[in-house]
Amino acid sequence: MVLDSPYDVAEGGLAYIEAMESLPLAQTRLLRTAIPGPRSTTLHAERVQHVSSGFGVALPVFIDRAEGGILQDVDGNRIIDFASGIAVTSVGASNPLVQARVRDQLARFTHTCFMVTEYDSFTAVCEWLNTHTPGDFEKRTALFSTGAEAVENAIKIARAATGREKILVFDDAYHGRSLLTMAMTAKENPYKTSFGPFPGEVHRAPMAAPLRWPGGAENATVEALAGVEAVLAAQGADTFAAMVIEPIQGEGGFIVPAPGFLAGLRDIAARHGIVFVLDEIQAGMGRTGRMFASEYEGVAGDLVVTGKALGGGLPLTAVTGRVELMNAVHAGGLGGTYAGNPLACAAALGVFEAFETGDLLAGALRIEDTVRRVLEPLVTEDLPIVEFRGRGAMLAIEFADAATLEPRPLLAAAVAARCHARGVLVLVCGTYGNVIRLLPPLVIGQELLEDGLAVLREAVESVYADSTAGSTADSTAGSAVGAAAVRA
């Protein structure tokens, strides 16, 4: 297979390509062809011949370069990135601080396996996480490669430390695609369908989701906590090793728990000797405008799991927590061939440097202000959008009938498809697939952000107008690329 450059000889040949690649990628949206364009279409047809069809794709375009808030495809289109590779490239997809450290590490060595011989960047990443995660107590950290692997290791640690087996998780939770984390994940399709049986001892409790709480948002915390106590009582509270929750749910639909719910859970866990685990894989590392989303609720986990943005695009995840828990595991009980790979650790040190020098948390709050100004009014207009929610640069709108809250997934898919066609990459999420989520890189420029939001706003209005005009927008427009929602 030959990967052609999008810049053909007619435009100046190799010298032109080299000149282009040394220039910063223009931070403007540009449509040179339809999306997907002819080169992407050809490459996608080839992909189908070689890649398992088990992998979905949100937008079948092939990327040539990415930087700041732009993904440039092989047809030369410049697409606004409201996905960040699912909350990964928060510091930008080609952040110079990350690139410099990875380049230097690449020249020295790529791998030793930390269980075979050591390197100090691993220690430095652990030290940073021990210092910056919430909780004023002595901590230790263990590094891994994927989020699911880190969540599983948090369970191993909690079991070793407590001598108990059971795990409590919540409605609408997402924790990964490995067998144990699939069991912990709530949504059946596409994550769990046909993949069982799953490991046992996973129990599910209500999540204080304000919008759909049957007793009303103002009662969600008290009633959901009572529901949690009921599940624990029925199963035997002292048989639970861990309680695991996302401080803001990701795949489940960017649901922010009702105020006080996280603190209430922490207190319940403490009362019953259950390890309280915060899965900050999607919401953490600055995404919400604080370094960790649980800071908004003043809550620290006994263990906290990080990933996604931690490695700045290289695979790196971590479990950080109380020293007495982290050191309760027998020597040799934790590890992994690639766990804390040197290139990934170098990248993470670049990510930390970007946060220390770049005021990225302020960037997330600026994004929230701008997005709120454009999208929040949609909730009060005559549109089937029932909530604008999230924090910082982790924001979403939910499509449902205003009166009945009946989810409108096809509308969300059609809006996403229209955004994609116009060069704005948004993702769909939610248990009902009816939520459009925005996860722009924290470094996205203001003009680019506003351009992308204007496209999204226009897409919402025009798709809704089409659907009420009796056209088929609601039933067919979503069958294109937008319906193939990507799942983290």
Per CB under 6 A, residues contacting ligand PLP are: 146-148, 151, 174-176, 246, 250, 279, 281-282, 307-308, 488
Residue nearer to ligand PLP on the CB measure, 166 or 487: 487
The least CB distance from residue 149 to ligand PLP, in Å, is 7
C-beta of 60 vs 307, nearer to ligand PLP: 307
Q: 385: which strand partners?
A: 399
Cβ(411)–Cβ(474) below 8 Å: yes
For the bound state, the minimum distance from the C-beta of residue 11 to ligand PLP, rounded and expressed in Å, comes to 38
* Strand 275-279 relative to strand 240-245, pairing: parallel
Number of Cβ atoms within 10 Å of the Cβ of 10: 7
Closer residue to ligand PLP, CB minimum distance, 154 or 208: 154
Q: Find the shortest distance in angstroms from Cβ 200 to ligand PLP.
A: 20
Kindly report the length of the chain: 488
Q: How far is the CB of 176 from ligand PLP (least distance, A)?
A: 4
Task: Round the CA-based radius of gyration of the chain to a whole number and report it.
Answer: 23
Which lies closer to ligand PLP via its Cβ, residue 79 or residue 151? 151
Residue nearest to ligand PLP (CB): 147
CA 93 to chain centre: 15
Nearest approach in angstroms of CB 58 to ligand PLP is 14
Nearest to 379, CA basis, from 416, 418, 405, 410: 405
Q: Which of 128, 22, 108 is nearest to 351 (CA)?
A: 128
- Alpha carbon distance 378, 367 (integer Å): 17
- Antiparallel, parallel or unpaired: β 78-81 and 424-425: parallel
Q: Give the whole-angstrom CA distance, residue 101 versus residue 316.
A: 15
First-to-last C-alpha distance (Å) of the chain: 28
The CB-of-78 to ligand PLP minimum distance in angstroms stands at: 27
Q: Which is nearer to ligand PLP, 189 or 357 (CB)?
A: 189
Cα→Cα distances 50→4, 40, 43, 61, Å: 18, 15, 11, 16
Q: Shortest distance, CB of residue 338 to ligand PLP, whole angstroms?
A: 13
Give the residue from 316, 253, 313, 250 showing the smallest Cα distance to 280.
Answer: 250
Min dist CB 488 to ligand PLP, Å, is 4
Q: Cβ of residue 260: shortest distance to ligand PLP, in angstroms?
A: 21
Task: In angstroms, give the least distance from the CB of 421 to ligand PLP.
Answer: 27
Edge-first strand order for the sheet with 385-391 is: 385-391, 394-399, 435-438, 427-429
Can you read off the two tokens belonging to residue 241?
A: 């090793």
Q: What are phi and psi for residue 454, nearest 5 degrees?
A: -65, -40
Minimum CB distance to ligand PLP smaller for 174 or for 338: 174
Residues in CB range of 130: below 8 A, 6 or more apart = 139, 140, 141, 320
Nearer to ligand PLP, 64 or 171 (CB): 171
How big, in percent rounded to 5, are the helix, strand and coil portions of the chain?
Answer: 45, 15, 40
* Alpha carbon of residue 360 to chain centroid: 17
H-assigned helices in 294-402: 323-326, 342-358, 360-375, 377-380
Residue closer to ligand PLP (CB basis): 175 or 389: 175
Closer to ligand PLP by Cβ: residue 173 or 360: 173
Name the residue nearer to ligand PLP (CB basis): 228 or 278: 278
136 C-beta neighbours (distance < 10 Å), count: 6
Closest CB to ligand PLP among 70 and 83? 83
**Closest separation between CB of residue 320 and ligand PLP, Å?**
15
